[in-house]
Structure 1
Amino acid sequence: MANKISGSYAIVVNPGTEVNKHGKNIAKKAAVVAGATLISRLLGFVRDVIVAFALGAGMFADAFFVAFRIPNLLRRLFGEGSLTMAFIPVFSRIMEEEGEEAAQAMARSAMIWLCVILGCITLLVELSAGPLTMIIAPGFLDNSVQFQATVELIRICFPYVIFICGVALCMGILNARDHFLSPALAPVVLNISLIGAALIGYFFGLNVAYSMAYGVLAGGVGQLLLQQPFLFSSGFRWKGGWSWRNQGVARMGMLMLPTVFGAAVYQINILLGTLLASYLPVGSVSYLYYADRLVQFPLGVFGIAVSTAALPSLAKLAARGEMEEFDGALSVSLALTLFIALPSAAGLIGLANPVIGLLFERGAFSAEAVSATAQALVAYSIGLPFIALARPLVAGFYALEDTRTPVRVAVLCLLSNVGLGIFLMQSLAHVGLALAVSLSSFLNFICLYVLLVQKRGRGLIGLGMVVKSVMLSLIVGVGAFLTAVWHPWWLALIPFWCVFYIGAGHMLGMQEARLLTGLVATRIRRRKKVREG
Structure 2
Amino acid sequence: MNLYRAIGSIGGLTMVSRVLGFARDMVGSRILGASHANDAFNLAFLLPNIFRRLFAEGAFSSGFVPLFSRRLAAGGHEDAEAFSNEILSVFMPALLVVTLLFEILMPGVLWLVVPDYADTPGKFDLAVELTRWTFPYLLFISVVALLSGILNSLTRFAIAAFAPALLNIALIVALLVAPPDKVEVVRYMALAVLAGGLLQFALCWVAVRKAGVKLRFGRPRMTPAVKELVVLILPATVAAGVYQISQLFYAYFSARLGEGALSMLSYADRLNQLPLSIIGTALGVAILPAISQAIAREDAGEASDVQARAFDLSMLLTLPATLALAVAAGPIIGALYQGGEFSVEDARVTGNILAILVTGLPAYVLVKVLTPAFYARKDVKTPVRIAMAVLAGGVIANFALIPLIGIYSLALVTSAGAWINFGLLFVILYLRGHFRMPGWLVARVSKQLLAALCMAASIYAIKLAAHDYFFGGVLERVVALGALVGIGGIVYFAVAWMIGGMDRQAIAALGRKKVQD
Q: TM-score range by the shorter chain?
A: 0.7 to 0.9
CA contact (8 A) 1:193 1:218 kept: yes
1:417, 1:240 → 2: CA distance? 40
Change over 3 Å in CA distance of 1:74–1:374 after alignment to 2: closer
Instruction: Give the number of the structure whose alpha-carbon radius of gyration is greater.
Output: 1
Report the CA distance shift for 1:131/1:414 in structure 2 as closer, same or farther (over 3 A). closer
**Gap change, CA 1:293 and 1:63, over 3 Å in 2:** closer
**Offset at residue 149 of structure 1 (A):** 6.8
TM-score, length-normalised on structure 2? 0.84
Contact 1:106 1:242 in 2 (8 A): no
Using the alignment, how far apart are the partners of 2:268 and 2:121 within structure 1?
36
The amino acid of 2:322's aligned partner reads A
> Is the Cα contact below 8 Å between 2:35 and 2:260 reproduced in 1?
no
Task: Go from structure 1 to structure 2 and tell me whether the alpha carbon gap of 1:353 and 1:122 turns closer, same or farther (over 3 Å shift).
Answer: closer
Partner of 2:165: 188
1:160 paired with 2:137, answer yes
The alpha carbon displacement at 1:404 in A equals: 1.2
1:410 is matched with 387
- Residue in 1 aligned with 2:489? 498
Count of equivalent residues: 503
Shift of 1:401: 1.3
Determine the structure 2 residue equivalent to 1:18.
none
Relative distance call for 1:415 and 1:63 in structure 2 (3 A) is: closer
Structure 1 residues 157, 380: CA separation in 2 closer, same or farther (over 3 Å shift)?
Answer: closer
Q: Pick from 210, 228, 231: which aligns with 2:208?
A: 231
Instruction: Find the aligned partners of 1:373 and 1:145 in 2 and give their Cα distance.
Output: 25
CA distance in 2: counterparts of 1:146 and 1:424, whole angstroms = 27
Q: What's 1:469 paired with? A: 448
Task: Give the 3 Å change call, closer, same or farther, for CA 245–210 of structure 1 in structure 2.
Answer: same
Aligned to 2:460: 481
TM-score by length of structure 1 reads 0.81
CA distance in 2, matches of 1:496, 1:290: 25
Task: Specify the alignment match of 2:24 in structure 1.
Answer: 47
The residue aligned with 2:80 is 103
Checking the alignment, whether the CA contact within 8 Å between 1:153 and 1:213 is kept in structure 2 is yes
The one-letter code of the counterpart of 1:494 is: V
Give, as a single letter, the amino acid of the residue that structure 1 aligns with 2:495: A
The 5 Å alignment of 1:87-236 reads 87-128=64-105, 132=109, 156-202=133-179, 211-236=188-213
Q: Which amino acid aligns with 1:473?
A: A
Moved more, 503-512 or 300-309: 503-512
- Which 10-residue stretch deviates more, 301-310 or 131-140? 131-140
How much does 1:75 deviate? Answer: 1.3
Give the secondary structure class of the aligned counterpart of 2:465. Answer: coil
What CA deviation, in whole Å up to 9, does each residue of 1:140-198 have, x standing for no partner? 88999887776665554433322211110001111000011111111112222333345
Contact 2:114 2:255 in 1 (8 A): no
CA displacement at 1:89 relative to structure 2: 0.9
Cα shift at 1:120: 2.5
The 1:519–1:242 alpha-carbon spacing in structure 2 relative to 1, beyond 3 Å, is farther
- Are 1:336 and 2:327 an aligned pair? no
Q: CA deviation at 1:506?
A: 2.7
Which of 418, 433, 442 is equivalent to 1:441? 418
Partner letter of residue 469 of structure 1?
A: Q
How far residue 433 of structure 1 moved from its aligned partner, in angstroms, is 4.7
CA shift in 2, pair 1:474/1:210, >3 Å: closer
- Which range moved further: 326-335 or 438-447? 438-447
Question: 380-389 vs 476-485, which deviates more?
Answer: 476-485
Letter in 1 for 2:456: G
1:454 — aligned with what? 431
CA distance in 1, matches of 2:187, 2:259: 32
- Match of residue 327 from structure 1: 304
Query: Aligned with 1:484: secondary structure?
Result: helix
Gap runs ≥5 in structure 2: 470-478
1:127 deviates by: 4.7
Q: What is the deviation of 1:135? A: 5.2
Query: Does the 8 A contact of 1:506 with 1:514 survive in 2?
Result: no
Q: What secondary structure is seen at the aligned counterpart in 2 of 1:485?
A: helix
Please give the alpha-carbon distance, in whole angstroms, between the structure 2 residues aligned to 1:338 and 1:63.
Answer: 36
How far apart are 1:500 and its partner, in Å? 3.0
Query: Cα–Cα, structure 1 residues 57 and 28, in superposed 2: closer, same or farther, change >3 Å?
Result: same
The DSSP-based 3-state class of the residue aligned with 2:212 is: coil
Relative to 1, partners in 2 of residues 1:208 and 1:507: Cα closer, same or farther, differing over 3 Å? closer
Amino acid at match of 2:443: G
C-alpha change, 1:154 and 1:299, in structure 2 (3 Å) is closer
- CA separation of 1:516/1:354 partners in 2, compared to 1, >3 Å: closer, same or farther? farther
What is the 5 A alignment of 1:29-40? 29-40=6-17
Write the distance in 1 (CA, Å) between the matches of 2:188 and 2:345.
37
Change (3 A) 1:44 1:277: closer
